[in-house]
């Protein structure tokens, strides 16, 4: 069973796997640890990850990123229109009420929802992990931003299911980081009262999170979290783009901001410049052919950069202040501040955080790029029966308060109509039992409270449940209904069951008095007893089973199509490679081994294959056509290659046979005591076998020397090795016979009992005490 953790990033994602030696972050097909979070659509296939990144420059209008920023959102969300749209080159459209894209795929206009796009990407990560582990991957833990709402979390679970993955847990990014930090620590305080308080600051490509976590032996407790959902590396990149676009407008008379391709090229250059400035005082910018055949160039000093980004840098302390306030701690009670995420490498960012922390030294004990991925993998290992992980309890918390509302029951004017069931900071997972007094069926609706700071544009409504089968008791009173609401490991709300209860009187026996006056008495007590289970009809924001199955079928079809395209391309490349390879070898290593007529036939066939390959027909042929062409060429070329290979390997094979023959010939003629039990007839059999095979080898090698190299050999290495194996197995069976055990004579019994002599040998009937060795056991 594979144990896999996924850090689902906005720019790129990482995959962690648990092995017996620990947690490894694995490399993809081009040996990179981070796989670009991109999906690209072409006239022939989908390209995902590294291949999409390669194609992005020439196919940017059909390439989509920012996948986790789109999932669970609608096209009309203000954040999508005002913020996300400027980072996306593909056309955004509405797909069944959610945001999606319109692209050219297989020569047609196609639309895909964000859920489908994330499913495509997760399937790619699944295949990368499967290739590394050499087994199918199903169970995973996926790390997501802590600010994700219920609808976004459900959409991600749908995407995982479409990709054929079983998400054991959606873990918050900051929780994954905290788990990776705490589970390996052996010096944590013994009691929660003396907990070690650590602030984790994670600034990634698109968002910024702060979490205050209390660690004690065997557990972590998230005390508070705060976010800036639109602060990350891409904000700095875009600010640089705007700066240089303005400069180039004056310098080169070009309007970059009105040319999507120019923006894309400039953004790539600005990303490089930002990274260089993290370690240098000044960095150059060079963008070849940015637009209108203009090669743009400029430079920027770090001081200029920090001054330009001052408004962004001022936002750094806002989540820090909010998280510290919600935790109820003071800055003096914070033991350390841990920084993760690529953006925390920027000197100006580190300076602002260090200043907020009172000038104290910041901690970088975790791998800034891999911390989330490793924590998610630890979480998956702890949920897997395959690995034994140190027991470590995780007490996470909800980011937004959730309330339940209902209609007032007629005849009960004092009844409330709403209740905050899971306030902000409520533990995850958590179960609450709600009690209602009703005369008949009723509905409950769950939503976020008005003051919940959910992403702008996301509907606060979470879901609805109808409780059926409620009947008014014969007494005329209201029925007492219990409804179980649960916030599960994923941070998702569900109504799990509902049932009625009734108050009954039961006889209870109890004892009074002591000694002889002790006696039992009975009294009536009132108890609450579960009565009837009620039917629940729920409605939440996730995909319907029918829609999910449809998406799953489409994904399977596209996956099969992509696989066929890759296999076809592989066979096409194999044919092209063989044409050039055999042609070059005919004038090289194969020259002595090919006849003139054969060479002419091969050259003619390879030329015809090459002409076909570069024709309109061969450029886009089927897999079977490439396989057929390659087989035809190999029928001509393989005999030549066989002669060369036999010539190269023949001496080695002959030496191996001679070595075995000489060895067993020597053993069969040996007068060594260890072989004295071997019968002479068996020895003769071995000698004759060796002599026969030696004669066969010498005769055939002599015949081979008389043959030309460009004709088929009279003796093959396969025949030689077969003879060697025959000699080895037959001779070894004879010469390795075990020596018979010598016969022992039993002396005749005597009538006179022998004298008992004192010896060191224990007498029959006595038990010898076992020797006890003292050992220190760690």
Our CA angle for 467, 471, 473, nearest 5°, is 140
Cβ–Cβ < 8 Å for 131, 120? no
**pLDDT of amino acid 754:** 47
Our CA angle for 521, 525, 529, nearest 5°, is 135
**Widest CA span of the chain, in angstroms?**
128
**pLDDT of amino acid 745:** 62
CA 38 to chain centroid, in Å, comes to: 16
- Taking the C-alpha atoms of residue 113 and residue 105, their distance in angstroms, rounded to an integer, is 14
Tens digit of each residue's pLDDT (9 = 90 or more) over 411-421: 777 788 999 99
**pLDDT of amino acid 620:** 86
CA nearest 686: which of 616, 635, 735?
A: 735
Place of tokens 């040319």: 259
Sequence-ordered strand ranges (E) for 83-148: 91-95, 98-105, 108-113, 139-144
Residues 6+ apart with CB under 8 A from 336: 196, 198, 199, 363
Strands 493-512 and 519-540, bridge-based pairing: antiparallel
Total residue count of the chain as it appears in this document: 778
For the cut 90, the answer to whether the pLDDT of residue 731 exceeds it is yes
- Taking the C-alpha atoms of residue 56 and residue 53, their distance in angstroms, rounded to an integer, is 5
For the cut 50, the answer to whether the pLDDT of residue 774 exceeds it is no
For the cut 90, the answer to whether the pLDDT of residue 694 exceeds it is yes
Q: Answer left, alpha or beta for residue 205, where phi above 0 means left and psi between -120 and 50 means alpha.
A: alpha
Tens digit of each residue's pLDDT (9 = 90 or more) over 404-454: 999 988 877 778 899 999 999 999 999 999 999 888 899 999 999 988 889
Query: pLDDT confidence of 743, banded at 50, 70, 90?
Result: low
For the cut 50, the answer to whether the pLDDT of residue 295 exceeds it is yes
For the cut 70, the answer to whether the pLDDT of residue 612 exceeds it is yes
Q: Give strand pairing partners of 432.
A: 485
For the cut 80, the answer to whether the pLDDT of residue 221 exceeds it is yes
Our CA angle for 151, 111, 555, nearest 5°, is 75
CA nearest 172: which of 396, 464, 468?
A: 396
For residue 256, give Cα distances in angstroms to 259, 544, 607.
5, 44, 48
CA dihedral 686, 689, 690, 693 (to 10 degrees): -170
What phi and psi values does residue 433 have, to the nearest 5 degrees?
A: -105, 120
DSSP conformational letter for 363: B
**pLDDT of amino acid 340:** 96
Output 64 or 410, whichever has higher pLDDT.
64
**pLDDT of amino acid 57:** 87
What is the percent of the chain with per-residue pLDDT over 70, rounded to a whole number? 95
In CATH, 233-313 is 3.30.420.40: no
Our CA angle for 489, 490, 493, nearest 5°, is 90
Please give the span between the terminal C-alpha atoms of the chain, in angstroms, as a whole number: 32
Tens digit of each residue's pLDDT (9 = 90 or more) over 356-387: 999 999 999 999 999 999 999 999 999 988 88
Quick count: other Cβ atoms within 10 Å of Cβ 718? 11
**pLDDT of amino acid 147:** 95
Tens digit of each residue's pLDDT (9 = 90 or more) over 307-319: 999 999 999 999 9
For the cut 70, the answer to whether the pLDDT of residue 751 exceeds it is no
Q: Give strand pairing partners of 147.
A: none
**pLDDT of amino acid 765:** 39
Token reading at 572: 């096409």
Q: Answer left, alpha or beta for residue 764, where phi above 0 means left and psi between -120 and 50 means alpha.
A: beta
Mean pLDDT of 686-705: 94
Mean pLDDT of 13-18: 95
Tens digit of each residue's pLDDT (9 = 90 or more) over 49-62: 999 999 998 898 99
Tens digit of each residue's pLDDT (9 = 90 or more) over 245-285: 999 999 999 999 999 889 999 999 999 999 899 889 999 99
- DSSP SS3 for 234: helix
- DSSP SS3 for 305: helix
- DSSP SS3 for 573: helix
DSSP conformational letter for 396: E
For the cut 90, the answer to whether the pLDDT of residue 558 exceeds it is yes
Fold held by 544-735: Substrate Binding Domain Of Dnak; Chain:A; Domain 2 (1.20.1270)
**pLDDT of amino acid 772:** 34
Mean pLDDT of the chain: 90
What is the percent of the chain with per-residue pLDDT over 90, rounded to a whole number? 78
CA 27 to chain centroid, in Å, comes to: 10
Q: Give strand pairing partners of 510.
A: 521
**pLDDT of amino acid 767:** 40
Determine whether 161 is exposed, middle or buried from the number of CB atoms within 10 Å of its CB (0-12, 13-18, 19+): buried
CA nearest 606: which of 616, 598, 595, 596?
A: 598
**pLDDT of amino acid 384:** 86
Fold held by 4-231+316-383: Nucleotidyltransferase; domain 5 (3.30.420)
For residue 543, give Cα distances in angstroms to 116, 155, 156, 220, 572.
11, 7, 10, 34, 41
- DSSP SS3 for 276: helix
How would DSSP label each residue in 674-743? GGTTS-HHHHHHHHHHHHHHHHHHHHHHHHHHHS-TTS--SS-HHHHHHHHHHHHHHHHHHHTPPPPPPP
- Taking the C-alpha atoms of residue 778 and residue 776, their distance in angstroms, rounded to an integer, is 6
**pLDDT of amino acid 750:** 56
For the cut 70, the answer to whether the pLDDT of residue 764 exceeds it is no
Mean pLDDT of 64-77: 95
For the cut 60, the answer to whether the pLDDT of residue 477 exceeds it is yes
For the cut 50, the answer to whether the pLDDT of residue 569 exceeds it is yes
For residue 754, give Cα distances in angstroms to 744, 748, 758, 759, 764.
21, 14, 12, 14, 15
Mean pLDDT of 335-357: 94
Query: pLDDT confidence of 739, banded at 50, 70, 90?
Result: confident
Looking at the domain covering 398-514+529-541, what would its CATH class be? mainly beta
Sign of the Cα pseudo-torsion (235, 239, 245, 251, in order): negative
Mean pLDDT of 608-612: 94
Query: pLDDT confidence of 535, banded at 50, 70, 90?
Result: very high
pTM of the model: 0.84
What residue spans define the domains of the chain?
A: 4-231+316-383, 233-313, 398-514+529-541, 544-735
Token reading at 753: 């009992």
- Taking the C-alpha atoms of residue 605 and residue 598, their distance in angstroms, rounded to an integer, is 10
Token reading at 86: 């400027």
Q: Helices 114-133 and 545-586: crossing angle, nearest 10°?
A: 50
**pLDDT of amino acid 752:** 52
- DSSP SS3 for 221: strand
Quick count: other Cβ atoms within 10 Å of Cβ 708? 9
Pick the range with the lowest mean pLDDT from 168-177, 463-472, 514-523: 514-523
Mean pLDDT of 140-167: 96
For residue 689, give Cα distances in angstroms to 665, 674, 715, 727.
9, 21, 19, 7
Output 174 or 755, whichever has higher pLDDT.
174
Quick count: other Cβ atoms within 10 Å of Cβ 358? 9
């Amino acid at each position: 069973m594979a144990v896999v953790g996924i850090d689902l990033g906005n720019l790129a994602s990482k995959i962690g796997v648990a092995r017996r030696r620990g947690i490894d972050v694995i490399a993809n097909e081009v040996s990179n640890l981070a796989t670009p979070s991109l999906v690209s659509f072409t006239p022939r296939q989908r390209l995902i990850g590294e291949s999409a990144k390669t194609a992005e420059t020439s196919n940017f209008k059909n390439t989509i990123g920012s996948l986790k920023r789109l999932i669970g959102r609608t096209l009309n969300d203000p954040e999508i229109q005002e913020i996300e749209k400027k980072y996306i080159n593909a056309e955004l459209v509405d797909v069944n009420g959610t945001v999606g894209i319109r692209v050219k795929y297989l020569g047609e206009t196609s639309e895909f929802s964000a859920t489908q796009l994330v499913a495509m990407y997760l399937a790619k990560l699944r295949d990368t992990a499967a290739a590394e582990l050499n087994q199918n991957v199903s169970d995973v833990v996926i790390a997501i931003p802590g600010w994700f709402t219920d609808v976004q979390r459900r959409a991600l679970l749908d995407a995982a299911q479409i990709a054929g993955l079983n998400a054991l847990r959606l873990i918050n990014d900051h929780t994954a980081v905290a788990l990776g930090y705490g589970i390996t620590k052996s010096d944590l305080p013994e009691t929660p009262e003396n907990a070690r308080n650590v602030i984790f600051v994670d600034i990634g490509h698109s968002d910024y999170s702060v979490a205050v976590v209390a660690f004690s032996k065997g557990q972590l407790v998230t005390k508070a979290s705060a976010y800036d959902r639109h602060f990350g590396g891409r904000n700095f990149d875009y600010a640089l783009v705007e700066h240089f676009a303005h400069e180039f407008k004056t310098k080169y008379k070009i309007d970059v901001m009105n040319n999507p391709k120019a923006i894309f090229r400039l953004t790539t250059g600005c990303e490089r410049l930002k990274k260089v400035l993290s370690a240098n005082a000044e960095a150059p910018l060079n963008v070849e052919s940015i637009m209108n055949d203009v090669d743009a160039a400029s430079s920027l000093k770090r001081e200029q950069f920090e001054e330009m980004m001052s408004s962004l840098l001022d936002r750094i302390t806002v989540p820090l202040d909010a998280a510290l306030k919600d935790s109820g701690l003071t800055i003096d009670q914070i033991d350390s501040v841990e920084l993760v995420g690529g953006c925390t490498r920027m000197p100006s960012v580190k300076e602002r955080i260090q200043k907020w922390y009172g000038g104290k030294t910041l901690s970088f004990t975790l791998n800034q790029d891999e911390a989330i991925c490793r924590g998610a993998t630890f979480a998956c290992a702890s949920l897997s029966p395959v690995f034994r992980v140190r027991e470590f309890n995780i007490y996470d918390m909800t980011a937004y308060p959730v309330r339940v509302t209902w209609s007032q029951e007629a005849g009960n004017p004092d009844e409330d109509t709403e209740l905050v069931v899971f306030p902000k900071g409520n533990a995850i997972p958590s179960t609450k039992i709600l009690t209602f007094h009703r005369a008949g069926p009723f509905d409950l609706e769950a939503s976020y409270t008005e003051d919940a700071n959910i992403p702008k544009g996301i509907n606060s409504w979470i879901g609805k449940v109808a409780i059926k089968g409620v009947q008014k008791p014969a007494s005329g009173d209201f029925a007492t209904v219990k409804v179980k609401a649960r916030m599960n490991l994923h941070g998702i709300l569900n109504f799990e069951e509902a049932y009625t209860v009734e108050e009954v009187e039961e006889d209870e026996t109890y004892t009074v008095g002591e000694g002889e006056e002790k006696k039992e008495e009975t009294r009536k007590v009132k108890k609450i007893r579960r009565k009837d289970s009620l039917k629940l009809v729920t409605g939440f924001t996730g995909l319907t089973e029918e829609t999910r199955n449809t998406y799953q079928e489409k994904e399977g079809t596209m996956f099969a199509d992509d696989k066929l395209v890759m296999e076809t391309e592989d066979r096409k490349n194999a044919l092209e490679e063989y044409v050039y390879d055999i042609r070059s070898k005919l004038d090289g290593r194969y020259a002595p081994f090919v006849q003139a007529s054969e060479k002419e036939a091969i050259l003619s066939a390879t030329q015809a294959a090459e002409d076909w390959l570069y024709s309109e027909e061969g450029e886009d042929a089927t897999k079977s056509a490439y396989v057929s062409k390659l087989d035809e060429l190999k029928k001509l070329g393989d005999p030549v290659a066989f002669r060369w290979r036999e010539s190269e390997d023949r001496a080695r094979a002959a030496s191996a046979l001679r070595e075995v023959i000489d060895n067993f010939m020597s053993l069969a003629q040996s007068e060594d005591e260890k072989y004295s039990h071997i019968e002479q007839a068996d020895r003769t059999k071995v000698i004759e076998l060796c002599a026969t095979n030696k004669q066969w080898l010498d005769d055939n090698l002599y015949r081979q020397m008389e043959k030309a190299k460009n004709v088929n050999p009279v003796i093959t290495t396969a025949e030689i090795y077969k003879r060697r194996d025959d000699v080895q197995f037959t001779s070894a069976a004879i010469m390795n016979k075990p020596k018979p055990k010598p016969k022992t004579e039993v002396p005749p019994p005597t009538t006179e009992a022998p004298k008992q002599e004192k010896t060191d040998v224990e007498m029959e009937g006595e038990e010898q005490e076992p020797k006890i060795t003292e050992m220190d056991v760690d």
